[in-house]
C-alpha cells in the first residue's frame, strides 16, 4: 500500500504544482478548466501507476480531485487556511484510495518502473514550488496586516525561496543535510542591512524559517518514500 500511496501523491504534486499553468489557476472557476485539470491528474496517475487495466484509479482521482477543487472554488478563498485544507483533503483522499486499491477489490501493488525517479521528482516539485504557494500566501498576509513596503526585485523573494529550497532538497539527496546550516548563515550575512529594521527583520526571519522548515520536512519525507 505504501508504494501505491506514494505514487498517487507523487502524481498529485506533479499535477498540481508542475502541470498546472497560471492560466488554468486563474480560470479554474470555468467548468472546462476544472474538468481539464482533473483530467490531467487522472492521466498523470494512470501513467505513473502503470496499472494499465486498472481504470478505477484514474477515474477515482478525476472524481475526487474535481469535487474537492469545486468545493474550494465555491466556498474557499485564497488564504493559508484554504490552501492547507485543500491539500489535506486531496492527500487524505489519495491515502484512502491507495488502501482501497491495495486491500480492497483490486488487491494490487506497484510493479512498474521508475518509482524512485517519480517520487524524487515529485518531492523536488513539492519542495520548491508546492511549499512556495503556502509561503507566498502566508507572507502576503503578513505584509497586508503590517503595512510593509518591501523594496527589491519583482518576485525576488519568491525566486530566492525557490533556490534555497531547491538547494536544501539537493543536500538531502546527496546525504549532506549538515550543509543547510551554512546556507542559513550565508543568507543571514546577506540580509544584514534589512535586519537593522525591526519589521523587515522579523518578516525575513519568519519567511526564512518557514521556507527552511517546509523544505526540510518535505525533503525528509521524500527521502523516506524513495526508500520504500
What single string gives the DSSP state of each residue in 172-203? HHTT-GGGHHHHHHHHHHHTTTGGGSHHHHHH
CB 66 within 8 A of CB 34: yes
Average pLDDT, the chain: 86
Percent of the chain whose pLDDT exceeds 90: 48
The pLDDT value given to residue 105: 57
The pLDDT value given to residue 198: 61
Quote the CA–CA distance of 160 and 120 in Å, as a whole number. Answer: 22
Mean pLDDT, range 120-139, rounded to an integer:
93
Torsion of CA 120, 126, 127, 129, to 10 degrees: 130
CB 44 within 8 A of CB 14: yes
Q: CA dist 20 to 16, 120, 171, Å?
A: 6, 19, 27
Q: CA dist 4 to 50, 90, 140, 155, Å?
A: 11, 15, 36, 37
Mean pLDDT, range 122-131, rounded to an integer:
96
| Alpha helices by DSSP H, 80-155 | 80-103, 115-125, 131-146
Given the C-alpha cell 513539492, which residue does it identify?
Answer: 126
Which are the contacts of 9, defined by CB distance < 8 A and separation ≥ 6?
91, 94, 122
Tens-place pLDDT, residues 50-79: 988 888 899 999 999 999 999 988 876 788
First-to-last C-alpha distance (Å) of the chain: 10
Q: How many CB atoms lie within 10 A of CB 7?
A: 26
- pTM value > 0.85: yes
In 3D, which of 158, 153, 174 has the Cα closest to residue 211?
A: 158
Question: Would you place residue 204 in the very low, low, confident or very high pLDDT band (cuts 50, 70, 90)?
Answer: confident
Alpha carbons within 13 angstroms on the beta-carbon side of residue 103 total 8
Amino acid at each position: 500500500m505504501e508504494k501505491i500511496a506514494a505514487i498517487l501523491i507523487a502524481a498529485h504534486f506533479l499535477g498540481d504544482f508542475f502541470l498546472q499553468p497560471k492560466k488554468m489557476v486563474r480560470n479554474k472557476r470555468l467548468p472546462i478548466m476544472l474538468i481539464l485539470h482533473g483530467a490531467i491528474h487522472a492521466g498523470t496517475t494512470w501513467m505513473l501507476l502503470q496499472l494499465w487495466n486498472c481504470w478505477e484509479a484514474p477515474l477515482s482521482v478525476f472524481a475526487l480531485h474535481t469535487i474537492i477543487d469545486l468545493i474550494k472554488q465555491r466556498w474557499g478563498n485564497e488564504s493559508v487556511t484554504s490552501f492547507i485544507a485543500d491539500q489535506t483533503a486531496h492527500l487524505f483522499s489519495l491515502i484512502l484510495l491507495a488502501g482501497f486499491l491495495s486491500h480492497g477489490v483490486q488487491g494490487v501493488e506497484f510493479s512498474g518502473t521508475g518509482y524512485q525517479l517519480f517520487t524524487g521528482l515529485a518531492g523536488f516539485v513539492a519542495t520548491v514550488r508546492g511549499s512556495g504557494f503556502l509561503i507566498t500566501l502566508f507572507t502576503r498576509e503578513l505584509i497586508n496586516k503590517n503595512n510593509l513596503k518591501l523594496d527589491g526585485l519583482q518576485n525576488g523573494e519568491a525566486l530566492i525561496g525557490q533556490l534555497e529550497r531547491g538547494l536544501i532538497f539537493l543536500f538531502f539527496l546527496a546525504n549532506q543535510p549538515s550543509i543547510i546550516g551554512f546556507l542559513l548563515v550565508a543568507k543571514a550575512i546577506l540580509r544584514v542591512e534589512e535586519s537593522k529594521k525591526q519589521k523587515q527583520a522579523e518578516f525575513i526571519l519568519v519567511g526564512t524559517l518557514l521556507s527552511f522548515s517546509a523544505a526540510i520536512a518535505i525533503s525528509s519525507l521524500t527521502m523516506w518514500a524513495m526508500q520504500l
